[in-house]
Chains A and B, each alone.
Chain A
Amino acid sequence: MIKRVEEKRILMENCVAVNLKTAEKRIFTSKNIAFLKRRYPRLKLRTGEWLPFESPDASIEGYIKKGGYKALEKVLKMKPEEVIKEIEDSQLIGRGGAAFPTGLKWKFVFKQTEKEKYFVCNADEGEPGTFKDKVLLDQSPHKIIEGMIIGAYASGASKGYIYVREEYFDSTRTIEKAIGEARDKGFLGINILDSSFSFDIKVVRGMGSYICGEETALFRSIEGRRGIPEVKPPFPTTSGLYKKPTVINNVETLANIPHIILNGARWFKSLGVEGSFGTKIFSISGNVKNPGVYELELGKFTLADLIYGLAGGIEGNRKLKAVLPGGASTRFLTKDNLDIKMDYKSLKEAGTSLGTGAVIVFDETISIPRIVKHLFDFYEEESCGSCVPCRIGTKRISEILKDIIEPATVKVGNLYGTDGANMNYLTKLKDIGMAMKESSKCGLGQSAPDPLLSSIDFFSNEYLALIKKVNGRKS
């Protein structure tokens, strides 16, 4: 039933897969160390621990040897409109979670008449379970830089920023080094490759804030303010960083750009399926045998192929209980959804979303209410507090879940702990969740209730069993 899945690598062709099984085989056994040292002379090897190491793409020489910055040369001979047309024709969709067409975004900014425009790369990969951007930043930084330069040329931006989260301190160093190399070779700076186009990139380090992955909060953070999202519209394409028209793209989206320019939109559309062209990097984690990043054509494989074919199935041959298919803030899928095709449209039809492509797998031993509680502790902490539904909602949901899960801590007089045997915990959770979804200002508050609401739909028996215990204790 399950296909043998072959990884179709485009974005990561020169990356070393961080599939644990192969990584271990490649890194830790003495037999392979000699081989690896020959192949990657700069690789630091240390037994016992895993180290991120450099792929041939990480240095500018290696990248150029493989045809790097050829796309930029090609683009500089084209008109910006032609570049945008190519990207629009490829129907590339943003890979950061919101799935907005990239070409359209560039066009909106291109059409703005303001002189000053910005191009921002969002490398604040904070969604729990996601680590695809880290692999690209570590192993293929020049591809991202090239994608940014092309995007800036097309949209007319003259200044670029890469916002990297604090936790990726090693990736920050890699990308800073890569920018320096690109500047030395004349790919960045004034009059790039003797054209009239000038563009430079600055790296900005985050300081530990989940909300700063939200685009308007990210802009505020670059501006040196508290990372609080703004009400949209106006969208960043008209009023973004410093209130100027701004393109903001995810790392993986940008890594696609040089490939599309070099090979054409038609080639790109030969990959994937209608509505979801190209490939997607999936980061699989949780209770699977081989967690790691896998690059796959969109829509050609099912969730089962991914979990059982690539990730080797569930640890300890236990049974699958639930899957979060696109990072923590998406709706749960269950074992009934195993045949779902992994693309934007199919997952949308199933009521969830491909999000960042972070597939978190939970086996039968995991208590779903506890996981949801754990998530809400996180949202409560990370909510910026500027809008009421999110600030109060995450707190109340967290409290109710605490009451359900740890009844011993329920205090007499607690708002939710005193109304007798027939507690309507679930109704309350749903009400607050829906209110958050409908009235929160930004993506955090709007999508945080998704795992909660879907878990109540699919695993209400688990909640009810816990609630029964609470009620039993009280009566």
Chain B
Amino acid sequence: MTELNFNKLNNLFLKYKGRGETELVIPVLQEIQNIFGYLPQRALEKMSRHYNIPLSYIYGVATFYKYFTFEPRGKNIIRVCDGTACHIKGARSILKTVEDTLGIKPGGTTKDFKFSLEVVRCLGICFLAPVMVINQDYYGRLTPEKVKKILKRYK
């Protein structure tokens, strides 16, 4: 925890000006997550003091939305789609391949913090089902073999 660099936070607070406006909460939380990869408690406490917004309110908002996380995550975030279209095209076998290859379950992170795995519902590219996204790259029409090859690239 001590290694966290909070200098970036001050720049962020300069960028988003305001006091007490709830409108700022989600964009600022998004930026904090961009900086640290997750929402560290100390950052949220600083945010609460700076904007004069109760910490409970910030946590209330952050826990509502699925993509805010409170634990450090891996360098590469894998999102396997399990929407209706992907599901019937074999999303489960894709997910299982990722799980077996990396040894983590959805929501988990590998010990070396290289990968985190998430299951999402519908990425909006159903015509390529089954689909996954690693960081910001789309991979479509997946097969278990293809998944293994793709994962190797990120190792």
Q: In the complex, which of the residues B25, B88, B138 contacts A49, with contact meaning CB atoms closer than 8 Å?
A: B138
Contact B127 A371 (CB under 8 A): no
- The stretch among A60-68, A166-174, A183-191, A397-405 that forms the contact with chain B is A166-174
The stretch of B1-9, B42-50, B62-70, B94-102 in contact with A is B62-70
**A129–B86 Cα gap in the complex (Å)?**
9
Q: Once the chains bind, are A226 and B60 in contact (CB under 8 Å)? A: yes
Known: A167-B120, A169-B136, A207-B30. A129 touches B83 (CB 8 A): yes
Interface residues of B in 129-149 (CB under 8 A from A): 129, 133, 136-141
- Say whether A166 contacts B88, CB under 8 Å: no
A and B contact pairs by CB, cutoff 8 A, 5 listed: A128-B84, A130-B124, A205-B27, A209-B65, A226-B60
What's the dominant secondary structure at chain A's contact region? Answer: loop
Interface window among A71-79, A111-119, A286-294, A429-437: A286-294
Q: Is A18 an interface residue (CB 8 A)?
A: yes
Digitize A374-394: 1 where CB-to-B-CB distance is under 8 Å, 0 elsewhere.
110010011010000000000
Check B112 for interface membership: any CB of A closer than 8 A: no
A221, B26: Cβ atoms under 8 Å?
Answer: yes
Is A51 located at the chain interface by the 8 A CB criterion?
A: yes
CB < 8 Å: which of A50, A168, A227, A287 contacts B140? A50
> Is A158's CB within 8 Å of the partner chain B?
no
Question: Which residues 61-99 of B sit at the A interface, judged by CB distance below 8 A?
Answer: 61, 64-68, 82-85, 87-89
Chain B residues proximal to chain A, CB less than 8 Å: 21-27, 29-30, 60-61, 64-68, 82-85, 87-89, 120-129, 133, 136-141
Q: Are A223 and B120 in contact (CB under 8 A)?
A: no
Please report A residues at the B interface, Cβ cutoff 8 Å. Answer: 18-20, 49-52, 125-131, 133-134, 165-170, 204-210, 221-227, 283-287, 291-293, 324, 328, 358, 360, 362, 366, 371, 374-375, 378, 381-382, 384
- Decide: B87 and A371 in contact? CB cutoff 8 A: yes
Question: A131: which of B120, B124, B141 is its contact (CB, 8 Å)?
Answer: B124
Q: How far is B16's CA from A255's CA once the two chains are assembled, in angstroms?
A: 32
Closest Cβ–Cβ distance, residue A95 to chain B (whole Å)? 16
Q: How far is the CA of A127 from the CA of B122 in the complex (A)?
A: 8
Pairwise interchain contact B85-A226, C-beta atoms closer than 8 A: no
Contact of A324 among B64, B65, B84, B137 (CB under 8 A): B84
A20-B127, A50-B138 provided; 20 other pairs, C-beta below 8 A? A20-B141, A49-B138, A49-B139, A51-B138, A127-B122, A128-B83, A129-B122, A131-B127, A134-B124, A167-B124, A207-B29, A207-B30, A207-B68, A208-B66, A223-B23, A285-B127, A291-B126, A328-B84, A371-B84, A381-B121
With A129-B126, A292-B127 in contact, is A285–B85 under 8 Å at CB? yes
B65 & A208 in contact (Cβ 8 Å cutoff): yes
A20, A225, A227, most chain B CB atoms within 10 A: A225
Interface pair B122/A128, CB less than 8 Å apart: yes
Query: Which B residue's beta carbon lies closest to that of A362?
Result: B88
Rounded to whole Å, the gap between the CB of B16 and the closest CB of chain A is 11
The verdict on A291 contacting B124 (CB below 8 Å), with A128-B84, A209-B64, A224-B22 known, is: no
Query: Once the chains are docked, how many angstroms separate the CA of A65 from the CA of B122?
Result: 35
Taken together as a complex, chains A and B put the C-alpha atoms of A134 and B126 apart, in Å, by 11
Q: Which residues of B contact A362 (CB under 8 A)?
A: 88
The answer on a CB contact under 8 Å between A131 and B125 is: yes
**Looking across the interface, which residue of chain A has its beta carbon closest to that of B60?**
A226
A295–B114 alpha-carbon span in the complex (Å): 42
Bound complex: CA A292 to CA B129 (Å): 11
Residues in A whose Cβ lies below 8 Å from that of B121: 126, 128, 210, 378, 381-382
Known: A50-B138, A128-B83. A226 touches B61 (CB 8 A): yes
Q: Are B24 and A224 in contact (CB under 8 A)?
A: yes
CB proximity of A220 to chain B, nearest CB, Å = 10
The answer to whether A222 and B23 touch across the interface, beta carbons within 8 angstroms, is yes
